[in-house]
């Protein structure tokens, strides 16, 4: 006869009555490999649990440790030297596939590159409120260190920050703001060394008119 997991848990915790524990020990001695494997695993857990039960971390000590954390004041890209990224791909300038009459005018794919990072960006205008949604992924060809440190991205009109967010650990981000003139996408690490500026205005320049035409008159 085998014993249940519950009985073995009580056994390794020393909660089994002496007579029953002796019988269980005899069962283990009879070379029951399954029960022995289970007891080995449970004993490993019990060894750790025994220590943690004996040394519970005081709630006050945990609270003090948690209170240490103060999110650092965010370094703005306005504080960093800025470099302009070049456009290395723009879906608008790609020939249409054979048989395709027209591309979706609301969506554009653009790739920017600077000396420190590359950014693949999808730009989408969402009607009817004319919201520009920017989703993308940053990559750092030379080193992953920048991404590991945590990068931030922002949409700006050159004077005001219209939207800002952290990129996740894979460099992915999403931002949105109203579709307007003079937009720039900026990516930077709070540790520097520089903020990379991606000029969306140049990309969106001619596009605005076609999007406006599709959506109705611009305000």
| Residue ranges in contact with other proteins by CB under 8 A | 4-6, 9, 13, 15, 36-38, 40-42, 44-49, 51-53, 55-58, 60-62, 64-66, 68-69, 71-72, 74, 145, 148-150, 153, 161, 163-169, 172-176, 191
Q: Whose CA is closest to 146, among 189, 97, 113, 87?
A: 189
Residue 103 beta carbon to other proteins: minimum distance, rounded to whole angstroms: 25
CB of 177 to other proteins, least distance (A): 8
Per-residue CA distances from 105 to 132, 147, 205, 211 (Å): 13, 32, 13, 6
Instruction: Determine if the peptide bond prior to 170 is cis (ω within 30°).
Output: no
Minimum CB separation of residue 65 from other proteins in Å reads 4
| CB of residue 69 to other proteins, shortest distance in Å | 4
Q: Pick between residue 15 and residue 103 the one whose CB is nearest to other proteins.
A: 15
Nearest to 188 by CA among 219, 212, 161: 161
Q: Which CB, 88 or 131, lies closer to other proteins?
A: 131
Q: How many CA atoms lie within 13 A of 162 on its CB side?
A: 22
């Amino acid at each position: 006869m085998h014993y249940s997991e519950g009985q073995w848990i009580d056994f390794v915790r020393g909660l089994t009555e002496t007579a029953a524990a002796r019988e269980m020990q005899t069962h283990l001695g009879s070379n029951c490999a399954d029960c022995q494997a289970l007891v080995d695993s449970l004993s490993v857990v019990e060894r750790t649990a025994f220590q943690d039960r004996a040394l519970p971390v005081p709630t006050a000590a945990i609270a003090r440790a948690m209170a240490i954390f103060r999110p650092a004041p965010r370094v703005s890209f306005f504080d960093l030297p800025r470099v302009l990224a070049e456009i290395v791909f723009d879906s608008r300038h790609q020939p249409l596939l054979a048989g395709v009459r027209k591309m979706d005018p609301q969506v554009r794919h653009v790739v920017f590159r600077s000396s420190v990072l590359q950014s693949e960006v999808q730009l989408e205008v969402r009607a009817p409120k004319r919201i520009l949604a920017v989703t993308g992924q940053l990559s750092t060809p030379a080193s992953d260190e920048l991404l590991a440190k945590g990068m931030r991205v922002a949409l700006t009109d050159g004077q005001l920050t219209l939207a800002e967010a952290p990129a996740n650990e894979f460099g992915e981000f999403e931002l949105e703001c109203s579709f307007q003139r003079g937009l720039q996408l900026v990516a930077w690490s709070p540790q520097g060394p520089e903020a990379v500026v991606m000029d969306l205005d140049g990309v969106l320049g001619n596009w605005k008119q076609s999007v406006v035409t599709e959506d109705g008159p611009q305000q």
